[in-house]
């Protein structure tokens, strides 16, 4: 998205000594109405800037996580050089200057004006931002992060200590939301000033962060138990924490970022979806080939410009002749698993065309044949087998959502807690798993109506198809012979439900190693250790004398504090 930046200036005025007889004359001129002081700043404008900057940070973090977990394309080919420090400069700068700095400036003003919902929202978004930065980078500046000229070279704090402060921030936010007095926000882009929903989000985030430290913190289970017993969490779709994009094309472009990339008047789809993820949705449960009677979300998630591979040749799709669908005797790379027994190669079937994990080969002229983002969550086109090229005015016109936290995610988190921690106050792992699947399908199938798009009736999944999918999930769960296998089923369904959110799959993959059948990196026999954290941004290590040494390419495996799994745990 591209938004106009909101800049808040504070005028510094130097005063000279004047005679007392003139002082009274000039006193009333010292307050320039064109340059308001922080005490009189408009907290609604502050909040608007904080929320817009927050969604930009989240969107970037989501894309990187989705690339590493095979939802979106990651070119690689080696994990150590799949990204550069400069890749993270924009995300870092926006977080510290656009979210955290504005938040810390706004909260005292909001408190003085008794606008407690404003300050509570700011604390939640600051907590989420810090939590995400620990998850992505490890140890980052916190205690000295916003001291301004008092300290222009902030030191880093330990990730575990920051996580503790994140919980404190969320507690403070909850306390703010429970106070009375002051006006509600003029423009809350998430919950329209509904304090109850913000409280449920704050408590859900507390649960999320406690679950993420469960391997390294033996006190986390008690906190998880308390939150689940209270159950004031995001439990229904009406509470979902999403950012709603618009349909405006310019000044600013308010459309979903992936709609803006994929739907233009000419040029075709501008990016690749991961073949592995499309295959997991379309065919994995059904032995490999695409099954349109399978996952009810398939046609909502992805839009095909072509329903076959008649267009594929050595120029448009160089790998096709070696693939399962392009040759009766496919010749996969020697280190690549067979298809369809484990993962796809090159194409998925029925026209679904993305790119394999770590494929850094040249980009062929295939823009008019790539699969694009569908109606959910990008506000794109529903796939009714039209086989039409993308255009600027298709589908939901970009009025998609950023699914930051959905009620289905809460159910999967509860299922995980029930299975691995034995906390069953909200149900059995099996029932909670099914709750998550059902909530996800209901969300996706109901989404087109929210953007005034009508799905052709003949393509709407029947209740029988939905029931069959649910039955297949619980059947797989019931026949699993170990808790590890059961956890794999829970986390796989979480992964499938998280389309449009790469933050949670990246965290879940490092924490649990699930889904366990992730596609291998294609381009090289040995891509190196999986990136367990990102490089520090160049704007941090190059400009801060107290920044730690940059993680070297060989340290791409460097883990965040809550990840105590072996080096080769994920790949």
C-alpha to C-alpha distance for 541 and 148, rounded to whole angstroms:
18
Which pLDDT score, from 0 to 100, does residue 40 have? 66
Name the DSSP class of 327. Answer: -
Residue pLDDT, tens place only, 32-42: 555 456 666 79
What's the rounded mean pLDDT across residues 384-397?
95
Which pLDDT score, from 0 to 100, does residue 12 have? 33
Which pLDDT score, from 0 to 100, does residue 552 have? 82
Which pLDDT score, from 0 to 100, does residue 500 have? 98
Which pLDDT score, from 0 to 100, does residue 165 have? 98
Burial class (CB within 10 angstroms; exposed 0-12, middle 13-18, buried 19+) of 250: exposed
Nearest to 136 by CA among 212, 30, 243: 212
| Lowest model confidence (mean pLDDT) among 24-33, 139-148, 355-364 | 24-33
Residue pLDDT, tens place only, 511-531: 999 999 999 998 778 899 999
Q: How confident is the model at residue 373 (pLDDT cuts 50, 70, 90)?
A: very high
| Lowest model confidence (mean pLDDT) among 95-109, 330-344, 350-364 | 330-344
Report DSSP letters for 526-565, one per residue.
---S--SSPPPPHHHHTT-TTSPPPPPGGGTTPPPTT--S
Which pLDDT score, from 0 to 100, does residue 553 have? 73
C-alpha to C-alpha distance for 75 and 484, rounded to whole angstroms:
30
Q: What are the beta bridge partners of residue 349?
A: 352
Which pLDDT score, from 0 to 100, does residue 340 have? 67
Of the chain, the percentage scoring pLDDT greater than 90 comes to: 84
What's the rounded mean pLDDT across residues 231-249?
98
Which pLDDT score, from 0 to 100, does residue 1 have? 44
C-alpha to C-alpha distance for 537 and 506, rounded to whole angstroms:
19
Q: How confident is the model at residue 342 (pLDDT cuts 50, 70, 90)?
A: confident
Q: Whole-model pTM?
A: 0.93
Which carries the bigger pLDDT value, residue 546 or residue 9? 546
What's the rounded mean pLDDT across residues 347-352?
97
Per-residue pLDDT for 230 more than 90? yes
Which carries the bigger pLDDT value, residue 200 or residue 332? 200
| Lowest model confidence (mean pLDDT) among 85-99, 334-348, 356-370 | 334-348
C-alpha to C-alpha distance for 177 and 184, rounded to whole angstroms:
11
Q: How confident is the model at residue 452 (pLDDT cuts 50, 70, 90)?
A: very high
Per-residue pLDDT for 459 more than 90? yes
Which carries the bigger pLDDT value, residue 14 or residue 174? 174
* Site of tokens 């920044």: 547
Residue pLDDT, tens place only, 91-135: 999 999 999 999 999 999 999 999 999 999 999 999 999 999 999
**CATH code assigned to 39-245+401-555:** 1.25.40.390
Nearest to 98 by CA among 69, 71, 60, 65: 60
Which pLDDT score, from 0 to 100, does residue 30 have? 54
Q: In the Cβ-directed half-sphere of 402, how many Cα atoms lie within 13 Å? A: 26
Of the chain, the percentage scoring pLDDT greater than 70 comes to: 92
Q: How confident is the model at residue 22 (pLDDT cuts 50, 70, 90)?
A: very low
On average, the pLDDT of the chain sits at: 92
Residue pLDDT, tens place only, 289-327: 999 999 999 999 999 999 999 999 999 999 999 999 999
Per-residue pLDDT for 9 more than 90? no
Exposure string of 453-462, with b = 16+ CB inside 10 Å and e = fewer, is: bebeeeeebe
Per-residue pLDDT for 383 more than 90? yes
The CATH 1.25.40.390 portion of the chain extends over: 39-245+401-555
Which pLDDT score, from 0 to 100, does residue 312 have? 98
Per-residue pLDDT for 494 more than 90? yes
List Cα–Cα distances, 552 to 138, 531, 533, in angstroms.
Answer: 15, 12, 12
Does residue 158 have a cis peptide bond before it, meaning omega lies within 30 degrees of 0? no
Name the DSSP class of 426. Answer: T
C-alpha to C-alpha distance for 117 and 201, rounded to whole angstroms:
13
């Amino acid at each position: 998205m591209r938004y106009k930046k909101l800049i808040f200036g504070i005028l510094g005025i130097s005063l000279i000594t004047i005679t007392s007889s003139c002082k009274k004359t000039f006193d009333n001129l010292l307050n320039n109405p064109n340059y308001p002081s922080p005490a009189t700043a408009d907290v609604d404008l502050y909040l608007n800037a904080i929320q817009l900057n927050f969604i930009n940070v989240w969107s970037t973090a989501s894309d990187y996580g989705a690339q590493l977990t095979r939802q979106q394309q990651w070119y690689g080919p080696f994990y150590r050089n799949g990204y550069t420090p400069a890749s993270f400069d924009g995300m870092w700068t926006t977080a510290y200057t656009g979210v955290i700095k504005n938040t810390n400036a706004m909260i005292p003003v909001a408190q003085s004006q008794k606008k407690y919902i404003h300050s509570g929202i700011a604390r939640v978004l600051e907590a989420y931002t810090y939590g995400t930065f620990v998850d992505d980078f490890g140890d980052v500046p916190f205690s000295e992060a916003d001291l301004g000229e008092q300290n222009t070279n902030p030191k880093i704090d330990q990730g575990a200590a920051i996580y503790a402060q994140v919980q404190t921030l969320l507690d403070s936010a909850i306390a703010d939301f429970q106070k009375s007095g002051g006006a509600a926000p003029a423009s809350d882009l998430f919950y329209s000033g509904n304090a109850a929903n913000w409280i449920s989000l704050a408590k859900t985030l507390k649960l999320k962060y406690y679950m993420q430290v469960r391997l390294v913190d033996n006190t986390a289970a008690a906190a998880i138990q308390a939150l689940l017993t209270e159950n004031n969490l995001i439990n229904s779709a009406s509470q979902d924490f999403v950012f709603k994009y618009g349909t405006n094309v310019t000044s600013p472009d308010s459309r979903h970022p992936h709609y803006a990339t994929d739907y233009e008047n000419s040029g075709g789809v501008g990016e690749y979806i991961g073949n592995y993820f499309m295959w997991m949705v379309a065919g994995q449960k059904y032995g490999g080939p695409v099954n349109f009677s399978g996952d009810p979300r398939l046609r909502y998630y992805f839009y095909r410009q072509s329903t076959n591979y008649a267009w594929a040749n050595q120029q448009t799709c160089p790998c096709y002749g070696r693939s399962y669908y392009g040759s009766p005797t496919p010749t996969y790379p020697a280190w690549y698993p067979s298809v369809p027994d484990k993962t796809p190669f090159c194409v998925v079937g029925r026209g679904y065309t993305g790119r394999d994990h770590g494929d850094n080969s040249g980009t062929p002229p295939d823009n008019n044949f790539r699969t694009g983002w569908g109606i959910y969550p990008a506000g794109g086109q529903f796939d009714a087998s039209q086989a039409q090229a993308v255009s600027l005015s298709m589908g939901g016109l970009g009025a998609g959502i950023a699914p930051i936290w959905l009620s289905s995610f809460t159910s999967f988190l509860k299922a995980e807690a029930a299975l691995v921690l034995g906390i069953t106050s909200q149900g059995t792992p099996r029932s909670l798993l099914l709750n998550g699947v059902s909530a996800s399908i209901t969300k996706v199938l109901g989404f087109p109506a929210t953007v005034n798009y009508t799905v052709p009736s003949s393509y709407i999944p029947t209740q029988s198809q939905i029931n069959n999918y649910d039955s297949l999930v619980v059947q797989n769960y019931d026949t699993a012979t170990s808790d590890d296998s059961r956890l794999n089923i829970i986390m796989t369904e979480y992964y499938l439900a998280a389309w449009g959110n790469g933050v949670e799959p990246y965290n879940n993959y490092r924490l649990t190693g699930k889904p366990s059948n992730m596609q291998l990196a294609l381009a090289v026999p040995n891509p190196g250790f999986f990136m367990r954290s990102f490089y520090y941004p160049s704007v941090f290590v190059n400009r801060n004398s107290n920044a730690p040494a940059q993680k070297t390419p060989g340290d791409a495996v460097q883990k965040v504090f809550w990840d105590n799994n072996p080096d080769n745990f994920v790949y």
